[in-house]
Amino acid sequence: MSRLTTSPLLRPRDADALRAEIRWVAHRAGVPVVFGGEVHEDALLLTEFVGTMTNGLRGLTVLRKSGLGGRVMDMRRPASVADYRNAASITHHYDAPVSGEGIRAVVAVPVIVDDRSRAVLYAATRGASPLGDRAADLVVQASKRLATEIAIRDEVDRRVRLLEMSAPTPDTAPALAEELRDIGAELRGLARTAGDERMRTRLNGICDRLGRALTGGPVADAPRLSRRELDVLAEIALGCTNHEVAQRLSLGAETVKSYLRNAMTKLDAHTRHEAVVIARRLGLLP
């Protein structure tokens, strides 16, 4: 998966997310070997391993359509073999390192983003041990989580690149600030819908950094608003009605009204829009 050339402060290394998912599968699936790597152009580079006993697979480059990994990278869907050495459905370019690990049953799952394979995750057993459906399902779950995280990172990078294309001037600075505020609000929405706690934490961290970049951080005596109160204000800042906020946040309409009332009271605001303005002035919203 090709790293985009953007601010390193916004995008952590994709390999770290890949490693985390491989460790999660290894912990949950109970299979002897779990490994994977990122796709660079038309080649898969294996870099992350749990349970390997040799270095034969480490740093191995798997070409498109070659072996099981190259096959799923090309087909963009999972595949498995019960006996790698004797499987007729794959090429056997990598039999030596696979046999060196004693691997027999393998499932490979591509990580698909925008209809492209960006990484491949594997789970494998040794000897005559079969690979169960539960292990395969866990690898698929991990690949979907990783695909979602990469897609979100790509979108953040795309927006940052657009902003970096033109340096702000006194005339364009207000529009740039407004665009950054919109990005922050949309990222908050993505954070709320993310199914993984680590991803939510990272996205909320990006929102906080955007807010500090725009405002310098909350003022010393700013009131403390809850995360949900800030979520409601962020949606209102995008022009949403209470009904639309309720739909976006999966909350009841009365619950939204309650969060909004609490935020307005804390901010000493008389209208919803005044609450947004005050929250931004105090550095609570980007």
For the segment 65-100, what is each residue's pLDDT rounded down to a tens digit?
Answer: 999 999 999 999 999 999 999 999 999 999 999 999
**For range 29-50, the mean pLDDT:** 95
Is residue 169's pLDDT more than 60? no
Taking residues 100-108, report their average pLDDT: 95
Q: Which has the higher per-residue pLDDT, 40 or 11? A: 40
How far is CA 35 from each of CA 64, 136, 139, 147, rounded to the nearest angstrom? 18, 13, 11, 16
Cβ-Cβ contacts under 8 Å for 139 (sequence gap 6 or more) = 25, 29, 34, 78, 107, 109, 121, 122, 123
**Confidence bin at 215 (pLDDT 50/70/90):** low
Poorest-confidence range of 16-20, 22-26, 178-182, 278-282? 178-182
Average per-residue pLDDT for the chain: 84
Residue scoring higher pLDDT (3 or 240): 240
- Give the mean model confidence (pLDDT) for residues 12-16: 85
Do residues 285 and 211 make contact, with C-beta atoms less than 8 angstroms apart? yes
- What was the pLDDT predicted at 175? 64
Sorted by where each starts, the structural domains of the chain and their CATH numbers stand as 14-146 (3.30.450.40), 166-281 (1.10.10.10)
Residue predicted with more confidence, 31 or 171: 31
The yes-or-no verdict on residue 50 having pLDDT over 70 is yes
In the chain, what percentage of residues exceed pLDDT 70? Answer: 82
Q: Provide the pLDDT for residue 238.
A: 80
- 180-189 average pLDDT score: 71
Give 74 or 172, the one with higher predicted confidence.
Answer: 74
Of residues 178 and 124, which shows the higher confidence score?
Answer: 124
Of 50-59, 120-129, 130-139, 275-284, the least confident: 275-284
Range in 14-23, 48-57, 85-94, 152-161 with the lowest mean pLDDT? 152-161
Position 156 scores a pLDDT of: 80
What was the pLDDT predicted at 53? 95
Mean pLDDT of 136-152: 94
